[in-house]
Structure 1
Amino acid sequence: MQPFPISLETPVKFPGPLPDQADVVVIGGGIIGVSSALFLARAGKKTVLLEKGRVAAEQSSRNWGWIRQQGRDPDELPIMVEANRLWRELATQTNQDIGLRQAGVTYLAKSEAQMAKYAAWAPIAQELGVDTRTMGAAETAALVPGMSQTYSGALHTASDMRAEPWVAVPALAGIAVREGACIVENCAARALDLAAGRVAGVITEQGRISAPEVILAGGAWSALLLGSQEVFLPQLSVRATVAATSALPLITEGGVADDKIAFRRRVDGGYTLAPGGFHELFIGWNALRSLPKFLTQLRAEPFGTRFYPAAPHGYPDAWTTPRRWLEGGISPFESMRVLNPAPNRSRANRLKGQFAALFPELPDFDLSHTWAGMIDTMPDLVPVVDRVAALPGLTLGTGMSGHGFGIGPAMGRILADLAQGKDPGHDLDRFRFSRFADGSAMRLGPAL
């Protein structure tokens, strides 16, 4: 397994061809779109997934690889419990090892105040039968041995898991294709095709495909496509840097985080490192328009984001990225097939130093790879999972706010049911699109 994300250099695995008609078209080949296509195909629907670049080439192969129930928003947690079960089932249906391991997730607490926050969240999990519990200082030190720092305690969920995202998501796409879905890489969706005020299909770079239902799971690109249809989505995309170490002696098999650094074991023996609670935002048109909705989040965590005045050329919210384009012309989605942000090298080097300082008995090690991804985030840190009233026939699943990989299979199942007019089996009121326009206060998910 290669510890780095999928890129445009990755050969096309799903070439199509593009059919003329489908029951449902899914836009976006990340974990959410792939999972939606899989469950639509299982329901017997003629399903086509459009991916402008490569399956999982953006945030779905650039994330930490955590599959965690711990720390979820209470309204997300029932869906995450379902996702935890689905990951176990789907891993047995692939033709390869996706790196799925039940190794637990541990949040380290540096103070009694932090422990109090963890203790307050634990009953939320326990009500749903999740095995989350708090640990004291001695048990924490035994679970994660060799740390140079003493922690007050920890929050631990033994049933949480990890997987290798650059392997897992394409493997799920393989299941979807075997069950009848058509996936077409290198095929951008330029616009929704509307007739009599509702969705009638999708205009792609390879031509029109007719479909009465569309699921938009475009990640960082969702707001741009919706904006071209005169629908405003207050979504930002923030850069997160990740680093991979070379193989090291075993510290712990699970995922661990404090307020400065997060790390988890990989199947190749190295560790994936990421900064805790730190992101970078490139300001653009949609960021400015969305600012009022994000004020609550900014006040709660004023130093968690570094701001830059402009994004690189071609990014979804770059100042020069077109907001309108001709259906027959090249769209921004074709101009940037894969959103491949440069990592913050100084931040990656700092991660290496922090990890080495936390575990001083480790041998000298190198960072084998560094990369970055653009996380699509919402003002209240929970996604939009809803039908879009302004565009009948469109179902939206976006803004997973850095939680998408783990929860992806269950969110895909829910989106597939919504597109079919079925009961999704969960209360989705927290994730409704209208919360940004109906005067609702922005209620932040737990900062765990």
Structure 2
Amino acid sequence: MTSKLIPISTQTAIPQSTSVVIIGGGIVGVSAALSLAEKNIPVVLLEKGQIAAEQSSRNLGWIRKTSRHANDVPLAQAADRIWAKMAERVGADVGYRQSGIMFLAKTDEQMSIHESWLSSVSDLNLGSQLLSPKEIDKHVPGGRGMWKGGVYTPSDGRAEPAIATSVLAKAAMNAGAILIQNCAVRDLSRSAGKVSGVITEQGEIECDQVLLAGGAWSRRFLGNMGVSLPTLPVVASVLRTKPMEGPTEIAVGGPDFSFRKHKDGGFIIMQRGKVDAPITLDHLKIGLQFKDQLRFGKDALNISLGTPFFKDLIMPRRWSANKPTPFEAERVKNPAINHHLLQDALQNTHQAWPQFEQAEIEESWAGLIDVTPDSTPVIDRVKAIPGLTVATGFSGHGFGTGPAAGQLAADIVLNDTLLVNPDPYRFDRF
């Protein structure tokens, strides 16, 4: 994980009962806890390891509407509004800056994708615009890339993943939520056909509702109860440079690199054109559901068969609640960093903007992303288990929409007025 992650202290003993239990201490779960606590709903959040230690602190920090599916944009717009008021809400700066995001095209085919996306969201008033090569040079000066053009949304932004979730967690506790780290949930208790509590490694907590926001772990947790959630893992490697002069405050995504300014003066960079896809047993079980993604994204997936396959193979998929679970065996998942991809990303970046020739790597890390067949999350009740709601499968987009997704999940749990239309996030669409 990034060394910049802010650790927080939480209580260690579980309560006997509460109204809502949240499983998972990433930005979605923590945001839901904050939303519930602000409404004076008793809520306990349980994290098997450390708050925000997995993908919520390992992502790029982009808060974007650009290139999202049209039906996912309203949630991103709601997230914009929440992020804009976040510092006032939680009493601390989370690094939010509405500095814009730009995607670049090197070929006519890539440019046509941006044009098609812009056409699909033309009625949503995003302020997005197509850019000519000259306009790219104006916004991001000093480059030497031969771009066909790009798409730019000035209202997009960024925040600091190593800070944001920790700050939200502290605000949730100040509002009355109970957060507990290093406490895995093993199973759900049920009575009269619905959820009546959770069984943890410390014992049972009685509750009325459960929200599962376990990220890449959600599929395994649900599988133990006979519920199939179609998600597969990919691994993204990321680096942070030492402080340096850069070309822009705008976050930029090229075909084979991306960069954005970090609050400490360096840049966050990754190889946007490729991620690692280590084969697991789940690829063999549900891979056909992802055939459309593989057809269009095969060049972007570095598929391999190695240690992750065998580690996953021996990890239990079924267990009883009175014995240790996979969540206790691996408190925090730390995927291997692909240093070759990072060097490639850095080289591609400074080929496009010579300022990055001076870049020195301060640190690097990798994170595991859970991807659904349509790259859209599930935020919905689980019909097979009354009292259980799921908010997971964010497919690499979870940080940006996290505060809004957490609020929407809390609305669903409470059967309250919904932040946005939840239809795009139905579980049964699969």
The equivalent position to 1:354 in structure 2, one of 343, 348, 353, is 348
Q: Which residue identity lines up with residue 183 of structure 2 in the other structure? A: C
User: Equivalent residue for 1:441?
Assistant: none
After TM superposition, the structure 1 stretch with the greater mean CA deviation from structure 2, 23-32 or 149-158, is: 149-158
User: Equivalent residue for 1:446?
Assistant: none
User: Equivalent residue for 1:104?
Assistant: 100
User: Equivalent residue for 1:381?
Assistant: 375
Matches of 1:97 and 1:301, distance apart in 2: 37
User: Equivalent residue for 2:131?
Assistant: 135
Q: Aligned pair count?
A: 430
The equivalent position to 1:421 in structure 2, one of 415, 423, 428, is 415
User: Equivalent residue for 1:152?
Assistant: 148
Matches of 2:89 and 2:309, distance apart in 1: 40
Residue 407, structure 1, aligned to residue 396, structure 2: no
Deviations along 1:409-444, one digit per CA (max 9) or x if unpaired, are: 1111110011111242422222211122xxxxxxxx
Matches of 2:44 and 2:321, distance apart in 1: 20
Q: CA distance change for structure 1 residues 389 and 310 in 2, over 3 Å: closer, same or farther?
A: farther
**8 Å contact from structure 2 (residues 240, 267) kept in 1:** yes
**8 Å contact from structure 1 (residues 52, 188) kept in 2:** yes
**8 Å contact from structure 2 (residues 2, 58) kept in 1:** no
Deviation at 1:361, TM superposition (A): 4.2
Q: Which runs of 5+ in 2 are unaligned?
A: none
User: Equivalent residue for 2:27?
Assistant: 31
Deviation at 1:308, TM superposition (A): 2.2
**8 Å contact from structure 1 (residues 125, 132) kept in 2:** no
The equivalent position to 1:395 in structure 2, one of 377, 389, 398, is 389
**8 Å contact from structure 2 (residues 278, 309) kept in 1:** no
User: Equivalent residue for 2:67?
Assistant: 71
Which is helix-richer, 1 or 2? 2
Residue 229, structure 1, aligned to residue 225, structure 2: yes
The equivalent position to 2:79 in structure 1, one of 69, 73, 83, is 83
Deviations along 1:140-174, one digit per CA (max 9) or x if unpaired, are: 11111111212122111111111110101111111
Q: Which residue identity lines up with residue 94 of structure 1 in the other structure? A: V
User: Equivalent residue for 1:171?
Assistant: 167
Give the TM-score normalised by the residue count of structure 1. Answer: 0.92
Deviation at 1:17, TM superposition (A): 2.9
Matches of 1:77 and 1:220, distance apart in 2: 23
The equivalent position to 1:290 in structure 2, one of 279, 286, 291, is 286
Following superposition of structure 1 onto structure 2, how do residues 221-260 of structure 1 map, counting pairs within 5 Å? 221-260=217-256
The equivalent position to 1:365 in structure 2, one of 355, 359, 366, is 359
Q: CA distance change for structure 1 residues 204 and 429 in 2, over 3 Å: closer, same or farther?
A: same
Matches of 1:284 and 1:362, distance apart in 2: 36
**8 Å contact from structure 1 (residues 55, 185) kept in 2:** yes
Matches of 1:112 and 1:376, distance apart in 2: 30
Q: Which runs of 5+ in 1 are unaligned?
A: 437-448
The equivalent position to 2:14 in structure 1, one of 18, 24, 28, is 18
Q: Which residue identity lines up with residue 327 of structure 1 in the other structure? A: A
Q: Which residue identity lines up with residue 199 of structure 1 in the other structure? A: V
**8 Å contact from structure 1 (residues 311, 319) kept in 2:** no
Q: Which residue identity lines up with residue 381 of structure 1 in the other structure? A: S
**8 Å contact from structure 2 (residues 94, 164) kept in 1:** yes
The equivalent position to 2:263 in structure 1, one of 256, 262, 267, is 267
**8 Å contact from structure 1 (residues 314, 335) kept in 2:** no
Deviation at 1:351, TM superposition (A): 1.7
Secondary structure of the 2:358 match is: coil
User: Equivalent residue for 2:183?
Assistant: 187
Q: Percent identity?
A: 40
User: Equivalent residue for 1:93?
Assistant: 89
Q: Which residue identity lines up with residue 339 of structure 1 in the other structure? A: K
Secondary structure of the 1:221 match is: helix
Matches of 1:424 and 1:146, distance apart in 2: 46
**8 Å contact from structure 1 (residues 235, 287) kept in 2:** no
